[in-house]
Amino acid sequence: MSHYHTLGKIPHKRHTQFRKPDGGLYSEQLFSTEGFSNDYSLLYHCHPPTQIIKTEPQVDVSPQIAEEKMLQHRCFEGFTIKPAKDFLQSRIPVLVNSDCHIVLASPQQSMQDYFYKNTDADEMIFVHEGSGTVHTQYGELTFGYGDYIILPRGTIYQIEFADENNRLFIVESFSPLRFPKRYMSKYGQLLEHSPYCERDIRTPKNLKTIDETGDFLIKAKKKGILYGLHYGTHPFDVAGWDGCCYPYIFSIHDFEPITGRVHQPPPVHQTFETNTFVVCSFVPRLYDYHPDAIPAPYNHSNIDSDEVIYYVDGDFMSRKNVTRGMITLHPAGIPHGPHPGAVAKSIGAKETKELAVMVDTFHPLMLTKQALDIENANYIMSWAE
């Protein structure tokens, strides 16, 4: 997040004395990315954020790989993932590689007894169903249907769900998740041709300084291992902060589609990028307006990337039998395109109401054991006339 923001009380100068009403010093913490060489924020705690009082045995939560190599189109019924009460236990990795983990989750309960921190990966949590509030050191983020919740790696958070009906599509990125470079000016502003702008970005609000001592459990994931760390002070004891590295929300409903006289390629739908994959948003839009336009996408070869689409809502004229929460994987190495009959059916259509999230990875994805449990095995043959 490259835009400066601040909440609460901060001193006039960084790295200087900042005193509490009782005369004691606030404890300054630098929260930075890529060492000290990129975006950062400065947080001012009531207590040093280092006071571990005990630890728990570590738990291996690394994905279980079922297929490392394959070359065929795959399809997974995401909504057949069973709900689980606990947020972390509900997270089911489906497609993974060394760059990212694509995860489905259907948590039924809020995180009440612990906080969570992913130390390795930025997290993008897409909210398919459900609503609530993400509580962080930076303040609160209220979320609902269609929101991308972006959490920089190392962010300590606790999610409060409004009810038990929640469906989440999560991408853990092991390289920084950012806005596409072509949308940004050299000074960090979103440019005029970008499909969204700063007004669409929802930053943390309602900073609450919780100055409490006791026993506070933070579950932290590192290299596939979950560690239980008990701290003697509440992690949300921040009196104020400022900087350019913090969690935020962008709604897929605020993505303004780019259209043309003929069919536009997938990069016009790009929403986020990393060093190793991109994220695109397919949203309701008018179709191409050339008199001889074919609205259905043309057949194309995946030469350099695996293409994953998570279907959210609406009708998809290029696919048959699409269900909510379905995931398709079209791997690099073989072409794919519309299902039989979709091209002719699309001619003359004026608009689409589809809603989907696409993840294109630059390195091959592997299937987990849980992915095989929800696979539609007949998908590979669905192009047969």
Whether pLDDT at 48 is above 60: yes
Strands (E), 255-365: 270-273, 277-282, 285-286, 300-301, 306-313, 326-330, 335-336, 351-352, 355-361
> What pLDDT shows up at residue 251?
98
**173, 99 Cβ separation under 8 angstroms:** yes
Q: CA-to-CA distance for 357 and 88, rounded, in angstroms?
A: 22
Answer for the pair 129, 227: CB distance below 8 angstroms, yes or no. Answer: no
Residue bearing tokens 């397919």: 282
List the CATH code of the domain at 253-381. 2.60.120.10
- What tens digit of pLDDT does each residue of 229-279 get? 999 999 999 999 999 999 999 999 999 998 888 988 888 999 999 999 999
CA distances from 371 to 63, 298, 356 (A): 11, 28, 19
pLDDT of residue 298: 83
Q: To the nearest 10°, the Cα dihedral for 150, 155, 158, 164?
A: 30
Block residue for tokens 């993932």: 81
Kindly report the average pLDDT of the chain as a whole number. Answer: 93
d(CA 319, CA 94): 21
Are 259 and 90 spatial neighbours (Cβ–Cβ below 8 Å)? no
Domain boundaries, the chain: 253-381
Q: Which residues pair with 249 in a beta bridge?
A: 149, 202
Residue 266: predicted pLDDT = 84
Q: Which of 305, 336, 342, 335 is nearest to 321 (CA)?
A: 342
H helices within the chain, ranges in order? 87-90, 342-346, 369-373
Task: Please state the pTM of the whole predicted model.
Answer: 0.96
